Amino acid sequence: MTDISDILEKAKAEGRNYLLEPEAKEIIVRYGIPITKIKVGGDLDEVLKYAEEIGYPVVLKIVSPDIIHKSDIGGVKINLKNKAEVEKAYKEIISATKRFKPDARIVGVLVQEFVPQGTEIIIGVSKDPQFGPTIMFGLGGIFVEILEDVSFRIVPITKRDAKEMISEIKGYKVLTGARGKEPCDIEAIINALLCVSKLAWEHQEIKELDLNPIEVYSKGLKVVDARIVLEG
Ligand code: ADP
Ligand code: MG
């Protein structure tokens, strides 16, 4: 069993059942799923230092227990190419957050590498009152939101289940290289599904998990955004 108790206990001690993006990402990294490089800066100087370390272009995101959907309030700025752009984005993110909720608790600003677009997928976990944790797979964007083209299994899943979850969605061809696009790394998706299943099985205190989006490439994948809600 992978130990994530330090992260869960910190949230509990602060009276939160919602994990911040860097916390959720730390958990999934421990379970073996690749993420974008990230660092949380407490002020502008730190954010600029981390942007240099990670390398341009970068993305900035608000880290606040009061902001769940970050881009809805102007809390995400992508593809920042230099120091001046980071400085401007930092100020805009802080003021957008304060405008949305004047007393919002701001933990910091997350700096991450700007990753190239691949094929977007999502993996989720929710709790079924009868069957316990269930895992969901789908393609990102309109495929999930409008077409509801997703597959579900009860956790824990086998490798065979993971393969079926991927191939049974209607949009499967998007992953295998339709219209001259390179095929996606299906093995990497299978691995991510198995890792999430293991996490949800071993830590049933997780009520909801959302990896949305995950960028999948011809080789490998990267989780771009992660959200975890705990029971209680
Ligand atoms: P939200 O809380 O609004 O879901 P996200 O972290 O998902 O915020 O960011 C919103 C969108 O910005 C993502 O769906 C993705 O398209 C883009 N994005 C976020 N982080 C990155 C990144 N590191 N590289 C490239 N694009 C990103
Ligand atoms: Mg998101």
Q: Which domains does the chain have, with CATH numbers?
A: 37-114 (3.30.1490.20), 119-230 (3.30.470.20)
Which whole-number Å values give the CA distances from 17 to 136, 213, 219, in the listed order? 21, 22, 35
CA 59 to chain CA centroid, nearest Å:
14
Tens-place pLDDT, residues 185-225: 999 999 999 999 999 999 999 999 999 999 999 999 999 99
191 Cα: distance to centroid of ligand 1 (angstroms) = 22
Closest-approaching ligand to the CA atom of 141:
1
Distance between CA atoms of residues 190 and 193, nearest Å? 5
Instruction: Read off the pLDDT band of 142 (50, 70, 90).
Output: confident
- Whole-prediction pTM value? 0.95
Tens-place pLDDT, residues 97-139: 999 999 999 999 999 999 999 999 999 999 998 999 999 999 9
Residue 112 alpha carbon, nearest atom of ligand 1: 23
4-39-97 Cα angle (round to 5): 100
